[in-house]
Structure formats: structure tokens, C-alpha cells
């Protein structure tokens, strides 16, 4: 999401030249969970302070970004970034208006399951009460 190439391939996004960010699309039922709870989980499961990548994945296509779809989501994300700053963290997470989402090709879906790997960029750590 967020780049200038229409319907980019995963390999094109990996080059860092498309300006797209490797991301996922989350569709949720607000009667089951809240956007606020999803924000907390987002910040608690990745290194939101790392600039220019995530873990060993380096490049603009791997940066921490929240793509919001409305003003309420933007305000809540801004609120949590401020909370993290008050907790003495230095969030590198960017906020951007959502644009066209392009799913990766089938071979890259469910990557960890298909590669028999484990998440190497993400680990849960409790931050919020």
C-alpha cells in the first residue's frame, strides 16, 4: 500500500523502488474487538522504534506505518503514539491515509506456514495496561 505502482508484484515491492509498504489488510468485526485494541496489539508485536525496516528486513518498504481509513482511526493512532512518547519510547511509526491495497501473490500468502518458519521480526511484549 501507499506506493506509486499500480498492482505491483511482491518482488517489485521488495526492490524499494515502488514506494509501496509491505503491509497487511485487517478486516475486523467491531462487535468482537475494537480498533483501539488492534492498535495496542500492533504496537506490542513489532519494533515501532526501528527506522527504515523491521528486524533484519531493511528498506523503506518495511517501515512501521499505520494506514488509517478515517479521522477517528487517525486520532486514535495519534493518541497511542503520544502515549508511547510519554512512556519514553521514540515511535518511528508513520501515519498515512489508506490508499489502494494490493494483496501479494498467492505464493507469498501465509508465508511463515509455507516456509515452515517462525516470525523473525515480531515478538509480543506487553506495553499497555
Place of cell 493518541: 79
3-state secondary structure of 15: coil
3-state secondary structure of 44: helix
What confidence tens digit (pLDDT) does each residue in 81-123 have? 999 999 999 999 999 999 999 988 887 777 667 776 666 667 7
pTM of the full predicted structure? Answer: 0.87
Residue ranges and CATH numbers for the domains of the chain are 10-100 (3.30.1060.10)
Amino acid at each position: 500500500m501507499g506506493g506509486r505502482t499500480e498492482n505491483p508484484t511482491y518482488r517489485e515491492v521488495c526492490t524499494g523502488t515502488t514506494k509501496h509498504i509491505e503491509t497487511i489488510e485487517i478486516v475486523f468485526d467491531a462487535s468482537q474487538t475494537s480498533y483501539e485494541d488492534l492498535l495496542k496489539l500492533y504496537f506490542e508485536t513489532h519494533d515501532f522504534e526501528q527506522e527504515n525496516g523491521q528486524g533484519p528486513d531493511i528498506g523503506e518498504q518495511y517501515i512501521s506505518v499505520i494506514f488509517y481509513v478515517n479521522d477517528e482511526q487517525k486520532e486514535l493512532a495519534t493518541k497511542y503514539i503520544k502515549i508511547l512518547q510519554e512512556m519514553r519510547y521514540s515511535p518511528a511509526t508513520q501515519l498515512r491515509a489508506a490508499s489502494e491495497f494490493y494483496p501479494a501473490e498467492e505464493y507469498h500468502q501465509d508465508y511463515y506456514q509455507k516456509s515452515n518458519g517462525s516470525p523473525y521480526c515480531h515478538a509480543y511484549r506487553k506495553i499497555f495496561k
